[in-house]
Amino acid sequence: MVYQVSWKTLPGLRGLACSEFRAVETAAPDNERGVAVDIAGVAERDALLAELEAHFASQRFSNNAAAFEAVKSYVLERVAAKP
């Protein structure tokens, strides 16, 4: 199944933070507003979302582009690493 992974980038005291990750099944991926990835099922999707929340909880970014690219790269690498 193809899921559209998206998140919110919110200002904080030490920079921008990424949170509220979500993944919605889609037939029309939009890589400008998130990242589209093929995920085997609901359990794998939920595990990825939990991992994203944990990984990015303490990270801060100087601008939206840096935040977007960091999350996008992380998601693509994690999905590609799955057997």
Q: Which residues pair with 16 in a beta bridge?
A: 11, 61
Ranges of beta strands (E only) in the chain are: 2-12, 15-25, 35-38
pTM listed for this prediction: 0.90
Q: Do the beta carbons of residue 12 and residue 82 sit within 8 Å?
A: no
The predicted-structure confidence for 33-81, as pLDDT tens digits, reads as follows 899 999 999 999 999 999 999 999 999 999 999 999 999 999 999 988 8
Q: Tell me, what DSSP letter sits at residue 73?
A: H
The residues spanned by each domain of the chain are: 2-81
Q: At what angle do helices 42-56 and 64-81 cross, to 10 degrees?
A: 140
Q: Do the beta carbons of residue 67 and residue 61 sit within 8 Å?
A: yes
